[in-house]
Structure 1
Amino acid sequence: MFDRYIIVENSLRNVRQGSDVVGFAFDARCGYYRRLILSMVEELDVEVDGTPVPRQDVSLTVGGRTYSLDEMRSEYKVAWEFGEPATVTVAKPGGLPAGPHDIRLAEQLRISYLPVPHTPVTTQTLTVSA
């Protein structure tokens, strides 16, 4: 339902630590119509230009704090609010080359009244500036 609004337009960028490019990031919204405690976000599957990103290379920044996907499993106090963009960061030395890239994000969300995880999936073409 909200799938087309999950990835925030024009949010793809390379991530720097000092003078080194250590990865890339984009902003995303939770694909559910309510807030979700981070432990209810079971997976964030990212693909770039058709290539899956290893799970251990993905992290999420919510409310100014960054969590690995493993750390999110035991985070019972922090919530990803409906409509609040969070930052999905991928560790990738050198980042992405300038230009357009197809970003696919699948959020596997555990919803209390659903017998199986809710998994909104979206793909959007975003551009990294030079």
Structure 2
Amino acid sequence: MFDTYIVGEGSVRNVVEDDQVVGFAFDTRLAYYRGLGVSMVEPYQVRVDGGEPIPTEQLRFGLGGRTWTFDQLAHDGDSRWELTDTATITALVPGGLAPGEHRIEALQPLRISYLPFPSRTAYARTVTIPSHDAGSQDASPHGAGSQHAPAHPIA
């Protein structure tokens, strides 16, 4: 039900710092019915075009003006991610996403206090990065360049 929130529609974009594309980012929301402490968010697994998962060390989690590595996130016992808050996953991949169509797959593992196993929800969205992208978002918010489908779990 909440799986479509994992890769936000219209949110995939390249990240530019000092005139260099240093990676790409997408908006994400909780695939759960209530908020959680950020320390309960396990490292996302992100793939592009069916490739290997991007190493966790290259992923960042941003929320409320703060950015963490997933190792730092695991030790933050004070911050919360509420149900309606939008966070950002940034993948530090030099050059980001090339212009054209890409399939972004993301797995959101969460530790839920009353479950003896992590909740693992996956989602995939096909996006188009325009040739003039310098940090712009993917195509039309109405889905003209964005298609989605449930993803198979990223093992």
TM-score bucket (shorter structure): over 0.9
Within 1, Cα distance between the matches of 2:29 and 2:100?
Answer: 23
Q: Where has structure 1 moved over 3 Å in runs of 4 or more?
A: none
* Higher-strand-fraction structure: 1
2:5·2:30 contact (CA, 8 Å) conserved in 1? no
Question: What's the CA shift for 1:100?
Answer: 1.7
Instruction: Work out the number of aligned pairs and report it.
Output: 130
State the match for 2:106 in structure 1: 105
State the match for 2:115 in structure 1: 114
User: Which is further off, 116-125 or 4-13?
Assistant: 4-13
Q: Aligned residues: percent identity?
A: 45
Larger radius of gyration: 2
Structure 2, unaligned runs of 5 or more: 132-155
| TM-score (structure 2 length as normaliser) | 0.80
AA in 2 matched with 1:96: L
| TM-score (structure 1 length as normaliser) | 0.95
1:110·1:117 contact (CA, 8 Å) conserved in 2? yes
Q: Deviation string for 1:45-84 (max 9, x for gaps)?
A: 1111112111110111000111001000101111111132
State the match for 1:63 in structure 2: 64
Structure 1, unaligned runs of 5 or more: none
Question: What's the CA shift for 1:18?
Answer: 1.3
3-state SS in 1 of match to 2:44: strand
AA in 2 matched with 1:22: V
3-state SS in 2 of match to 1:75: coil
State the match for 1:33 in structure 2: 33
Kindly report the root-mean-square deviation, in angstroms, between the aligned alpha carbons of the 2 structures.
1.0
